[in-house]
């Protein structure tokens, strides 16, 4: 009796475990995208020329990094594919995406007189 139930339940448990592992990998990839966007935005706000390279280094493999300079802000968007494990392929693949915005430090903001901070 127990053998029949095990034969039915075991494949379902394996599929459930694979789905849970994939969900954890998706969450970790999303966190890496957020971190990469923040790193890139901070670097671009400082005026670093290698902001895109820094963001790409922190991003998941195969990620696309876009840096958009505004008049007072900079926006970095990181987009990365998360392929599905096994034979599922593109059926359940997702795209992870994160953006970060930072105020540019090389331009004066509204009301900024350029005077140093009081000590």
Query: In this model, does residue 24 exceed pLDDT 80?
Result: yes
State the DSSP string of 55-94.
HHHHSPTT-EEEEEE-SSEEEEEEEEEEPPSGGGGGGS-E
Q: To which H or E segment does residue 7 belong?
A: helix 2-46
User: Class assignment of domain 2-103?
Assistant: alpha beta
Token pair recorded at residue 99: 């953006």
Which of 1-10, 54-63, 93-102 shows the lowest mean pLDDT across its residues? 1-10
More confident residue, 49 or 38: 38
Average pLDDT over every residue of 24-44 = 94
pLDDT at residue number 5 = 82
pLDDT at residue number 21 = 87
Average pLDDT over every residue of 36-64 = 93
**What distance in Å separates the CA atoms of residue 34 and residue 117, rounded to the nearest whole number?**
31
- CA torsion angle for 41, 43, 49, 50 (degrees, to 10)? -90
Average pLDDT over every residue of 57-76 = 93
Query: In this model, does residue 6 exceed pLDDT 70?
Result: yes
pLDDT at residue number 8 = 83
Closest by CA position to 59, among listed 98, 33, 25: 33
């Amino acid at each position: 009796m127990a053998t029949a139930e095990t034969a039915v339940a075991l494949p379902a448990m394996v599929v459930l475990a694979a789905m849970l592992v994939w969900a954890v990998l998706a969450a970790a990839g999303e966190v890496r995208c957020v971190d990469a966007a923040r790193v890139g935005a901070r670097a671009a706000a400082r005026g670093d020329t290698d902001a895109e390279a820094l963001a790409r280094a922190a991003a998941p493999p195969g990620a696309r990094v876009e840096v958009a300079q505004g008049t007072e802000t900079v926006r970095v968007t990181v987009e990365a594919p998360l392929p599905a494990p096994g034979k599922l392929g593109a059926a359940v693949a997702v795209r992870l995406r994160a953006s970060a915005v930072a105020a540019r430090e090389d331009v004066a903001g509204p009301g900024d007189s350029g005077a140093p901070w009081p000590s």
